């Protein structure tokens, strides 16, 4: 695609060789003459002068073009994501139902769906228009899969699950397994029946091998636009707000509430009924205790999770302990000398 055509499609202005052909995107340090790359911070600005990229996506006020071919945009990082979609379109499978798929007679398939090999779809389930259900997926009874959604290979969706439009579920994820609910009865644990549901909103993406448990009673709720990384566990009766981002290997105990636009780093552990308020940020590896409230916009880290400034002050003090130990030993020796 030519630079001129790409700029027109983006609705942006360009400078330099408008007829230069761009075939792919690449990092600044490895880009060549047919690649596009982007400049989004000061470090990248310094690298841009040495880059061999054929075209650069740069901020509107970028003043170091020096005869380079550039496309100016208010958001270079966001724009390169759009460019990647254009230059590397996802290949869509053939429309239709594979002969090995097993679909219940009461299930409803929308227009232009693609149902892969060995897919199972249960009674009274509904698959929206333009959905892609890849090989090996199992969809239970009374499931609703919204239009334009994609299930990658070997996704399992239990009974009574609602998934919104344009969802992307990656391989191996499990939606609607029983929550971890047991009651001590006498000398043994009795299973507490998990009879609730899971709701996943529109435009969500759920990573590989992630598990979202059904509610014991009621609904485990995933809001609009939530992005969940690989190997995340969300326990029964959690409520995840809109546009929350959750990185890999994070675990939510039952009944956790996460409000809109929160950001949760990798390997975070969150106890029962904790509450994460809107736009809070949980640093990777931190631990949130049961019933703890992380306040709106707060940045926390550590276990138990505490405000980042407090954690950094404590780490700085810990770093001084060896010196403090030497000083104390010196003072003890001086006191002993004076006592003689």
Q: Catalytic: which of 152, 170, 233, 236?
A: 236
The token duo for 187 is 């000398």
Q: 3-state SS of the chain?
A: CEHHHHHHHHCCEEECCCCCECCEECCCCCCCCCEEEECCCHHHHHHHCCCCCCEEEECCCCCCCCCCCEEECCCHHHHHHHHHHHHCCCCCCCCEECCCCEECCCCEECCCCEECCCCEECCCCEECCCCEECCCCEECCCCEECCCCEECCCCEECCCEEECCCCEECCCCEEEECCCCEEEECCEEEECCCCCEEEECCCCEECCCCEEECCCCCEEEECCCCEECCCCEECCCCEECCCCEECCCCEECCCCEECCCCEECCCCEECCCCEECCCCEECCCCEECCCCEECCCCEEECCCCEEHHHHHHHHHHHHCHHHHHHHHHHHHHHHHHHHC
Tell me whether residue 330 is one of the annotated catalytic residues. Answer: no
Catalogue the active-site residues.
236
């Amino acid at each position: 695609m030519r630079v001129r055509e790409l700029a027109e499609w983006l609705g942006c202005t360009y400078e330099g060789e408008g007829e230069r052909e761009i075939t792919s995107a690449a990092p600044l340090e490895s880009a060549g003459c047919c690649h596009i790359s982007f400049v989004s911070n000061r470090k990248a600005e310094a690298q841009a002068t040495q880059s061999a990229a054929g075209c650069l996506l740069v901020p509107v006020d970028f003043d170091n073009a020096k005869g380079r071919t550039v496309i100016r945009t208010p958001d270079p990082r966001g724009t390169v994501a759009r460019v990647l979609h254009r230059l590397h379109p996802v290949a869509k499978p053939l429309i239709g139902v594979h002969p090995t798929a097993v679909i219940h007679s009461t299930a409803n398939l929308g227009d232009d769906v693609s149902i892969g090999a060995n897919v199972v779809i249960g009674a009274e389930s509904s698959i929206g228009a333009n959905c892609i259900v890849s090989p090996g997926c199992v969809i239970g009874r009374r499931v609703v899969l919204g239009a334009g959604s994609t299930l990658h290979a070997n996704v399992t969706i239990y009974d009574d699950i609602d998934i919104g439009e344009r969802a992307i579920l990656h391989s191996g994820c499990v939606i609607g397994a029983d929550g971890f609910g047991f009651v001590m009865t006498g000398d043994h644990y009795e299973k507490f029946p998990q009879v609730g549901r899971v709701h996943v909103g529109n435009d969500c993406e759920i990573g590989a091998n992630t598990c979202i448990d059904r509610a014991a009673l009621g609904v485990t709720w995933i809001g609009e636009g939530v992005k969940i990384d690989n190997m995340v566990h969300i326990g029964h009766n959690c409520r995840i707000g809109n546009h929350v981002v959750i990185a890999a290997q994070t675990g939510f105990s039952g009944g956790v509430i996460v409000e809109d636009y929160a950001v949760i780093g990798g390997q975070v552990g969150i106890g029962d009924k904790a509450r994460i308020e809107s736009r809070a940020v949980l640093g990777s590896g931190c631990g949130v205790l049961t019933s703890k409230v992380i306040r709106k916009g707060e940045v926390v880290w550590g276990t138990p999770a505490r405000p980042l400034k407090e954690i950094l002050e404590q780490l700085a003090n810990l770093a001084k302990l060896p010196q403090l130990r030497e000083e104390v030993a010196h003072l003890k020796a001086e006191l002993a000398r004076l006592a003689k």
